[in-house]
Structure 1
């Protein structure tokens, strides 16, 4: 069987804010070049390059598809083998095929050695067979959320075109929880679960370890087309103990002001943190429990620290709610969502967080389903029409 080479066009790539022509192919970015030059640490260089929510939107009758990629994954050393990464095909919101490939390159990084060395490695090929029914189908090929993926070449046994853009254009910003850390696959990350359930067109600007109210992130969201913007703020500010309440209040206002400059009439939903027991009432930072060998987060601060201006999740939720209440006098399209409505202490008793900080696959899916039903459905005109 001879496969024909298909040109990967920018129109095929969804979930990226910029595409870099590398000379070999296309490299999707979730931050534009000017913003990437302002990234303050090497960890964010890698996490912002990772492909959470990035996908190829294709219309084809092909029975066989092949995609060549150059993928890079974060690692603590240069030698430990990677497990295979999943590349998933979806149709009408459901996964219809999965292929795997091992990331050939690695970004060697630890917080003890934060210089971040790139170790280059081989390309890989992702292959799907048995897809076709002889008629055209609309498919989305989701890249692995934990890999930075350069798209080298696409091949198929039938013509392939870009699938037309459809659905609510949803731009989301958040932390590693929204990035998908500890999800089993990309379509199991909660924003992807929500987007597939609601038929939304997702751009996921969540950056593991780096939802820090960075001005360059606000400007990126400002400049990205959207019918709905959601901002999940708080947990990383506590994790890193990077702010006090005095700085937090105007930083949130400034972030919202910047986003509003590019989206004067777009609904914005400010989402507070989900339940995280160690820093509910105590201040950050979160630290690893020295009494355990496995990952397990505990609070590095105390409840008394919160009284002096340090941040806890309870303090952040109250302040975000107050900011939205105040701003709604002039901005009726700004909304607040309590993160505890997505995952609460009661939920935690039944579905605990495996490291006391990040949701596992079960909770990622729970959050995504709840978000689709409680938020995306409200702002999606297509869903609203279908229910009337």
Structure 2
């Protein structure tokens, strides 16, 4: 087995916009480092380190590969074990060739979901894929979408070469936890990755669980990065946190779009409204989690008339904004999120908010069928 450099060598790290060089290795980040000073909440940084859509890409004639990784997962006081670390998935020539449980490394203990963290240091773990097909092949190692993962080492029993250009378009997507897809059954089971495979494109998923709030630093990030296709899925966090009123929501959406258009004036851009969430359809946030583990809206439906936001209001406003902008922006499109997951599929929301793993895959197929159709916005 020969060591392969993780940076400055033949391996490409795709889906990450920056890296931290740590004492253990390389930590991918899904937003550039310059954005960190603008985070108001530490959960943004945590979501940025969760490598949803991040993968190592290279060519090799090796039949055996070894990866050393150091994960960081949470554990609430009183829980008998840390949260699941997810899986690493290996694709060979585009087909799934192996799945391995991500080893437990560092553990962040906390009294509650937003409590102070106490680090229990761990050690890197080894993940091995053997019995790979003979001959040169395209390889992708997908990291677990829910667990910050430091890349410590890569070893192969053959040559490792850079990937060849394949001419695929680059698709940049930003959304909430429902695009981050922590609950998916693996990193290639998130709906953006499912859609990208069906559409034959390369996805960069900069979705932030709990933090799709029209943050200007996200708009500037999208403005400045290469993109052949762009999609934005917004609204659920805004309603769930009661982050805007109708008066401020519309201008914030316009400003977000204006910033992106400064760098991508003609790029196809698809605005996607929230999928169905019964608790918030007509009732404003903020939300809480009830004793049954289900999301509950704490707002007053009567306040919608005074500018409070429900999902119904958000969908109508997003569609209105796209409609008024389209005469001067014909590459801007709208998709009602309920076409991805509708009100008759509430049983597929395990906690009343987040889709199940099969539902995420269904959303991916439905998005691809719409966006990449012959008459679709990403045709």
In structure 2, how many angstroms separate the alpha carbons of the residues matched to 1:130 and 1:327? Answer: 54
In structure 1, the gaps of 5 or more residues are: none
TM-score, length-scaled by structure 1: 0.91
SS at match of 2:104: coil
Separation of aligned partners in 2, 1:314 and 1:376 = 26
Aligned partners of 1:35 and 1:139: how far apart in 2? Answer: 31
Pair 1:160–1:380, CA change in 2 (3 A): farther
Contact 1:103/1:124 (8 A) holds in 2: yes
Could you tell which deviates more after superposition, 40-49 or 111-120?
111-120
Residue 353 of structure 1 corresponds to which residue in structure 2? Answer: 349
Count of residues in correspondence between the two structures = 375
Moved over 6 A (4+): none
Q: CA deviation at 1:339?
A: 0.4
Match of 2:54 in 1: 54
Shift of 1:357: 0.5
Aligned to 1:22: 22
| In structure 2, distance between residues paired with 1:354 and 1:132 | 39
Superimposed CA distance per residue, residues 268-300 of structure 1 (whole angstroms, 9 cap, x where no aligned partner): 11100000011111111121124x2xx211211
Q: Identify if the C-alpha distance between structure 1 residues 212 and 263 changes in structure 2 by more than 3 Å, giving closer, same or farther.
A: same
Task: Give 3-state SS (helix, strand or coil) of 1:147's partner.
Answer: coil
The aligned residue for residue 365 of structure 1 is 361
Match runs of 1:152-231 below 5 Å: 152-166=152-166, 167-231=168-232
Q: What pairs with 1:181-330 in structure 2 (closer than 5 Å)?
A: 181-290=182-291, 292=292, 295-330=293-328
TM-score normalised by the chain length of structure 2 = 0.93
Q: Partners of 1:78 and 1:224 in 2: how far apart?
A: 43
CA distance in 2, matches of 1:117, 1:18: 26
After superposition, the Cα gap between the structure-2 partners of 1:68 and 1:272, relative to the gap in structure 1 and judged at 3 Å, is same
Give the 3 Å change call, closer, same or farther, for CA 125–377 of structure 1 in structure 2.
farther
Secondary structure at the residue paired with 1:192? helix
**Which stretch of the first structure deviates more once superposed, 258-267 or 21-30?**
21-30
Aligned counterpart in structure 2 of residue 332 of structure 1, from 306, 330, 338 = 330
- Pairwise CA distance, 1:26: 2.2
Q: Aligned equivalents of 2:145 and 2:280: distance in 1? A: 27
Q: How far apart in 1 are the matches of 2:375 and 2:20?
A: 32
How far is 1:147 from its partner? 1.0
Deviation, structure 1 residue 117:
4.0
- 1:375 matched to 2:376? The reply is no
Q: Secondary structure of the residue that 1:99 maps to in structure 2? A: strand
Could you tell me how far 1:165 is from its partner in structure 2?
4.5
Alpha-carbon contact 1:16-1:203 (below 8 Å) kept: yes
Q: 1:160 to 1:114 in 2, by over 3 A?
A: same
Quick check: 1:97–1:128 contact (8 Å CA) kept in 2? yes
Structure 2: 5+ residue stretches without partners: none
Q: SS at 1:359's partner residue? A: coil
Give the match for residue 69 of structure 1.
Answer: 69
C-alpha change, 1:69 and 1:380, in structure 2 (3 Å) is farther
With 27-36 and 83-92 compared, the bigger mean Cα shift is at 83-92
Structure 1 residue 121, shift from structure 2 partner: 1.4
Label 1:137 to 1:16 Cα distance change in 2 as closer, same or farther (>3 A). same
On the 8 A contact 1:78/1:119 being kept in 2, the answer is no
Shift of 1:75: 3.1
Contact 1:267 1:333 in 2 (8 A): yes
Conserved? CA contact 1:169–1:202, under 8 Å: yes
Look up the SS of the partner of 2:352 in the other structure: coil
| Partner residue in 2 for 1:119 | 120
Indicate the RMSD between aligned Cα atoms, in angstroms.
2.1
Q: Is the 8 A contact 2:279 2:296 kept in 1?
A: yes
Task: Encode CA deviations 1:230-253: one digit per residue, 9 max, x unaligned.
Answer: 000000011111111111011101
Distance 1:42 1:276, change over 3 A: same
Distance 2:32 2:111 in 1: 25
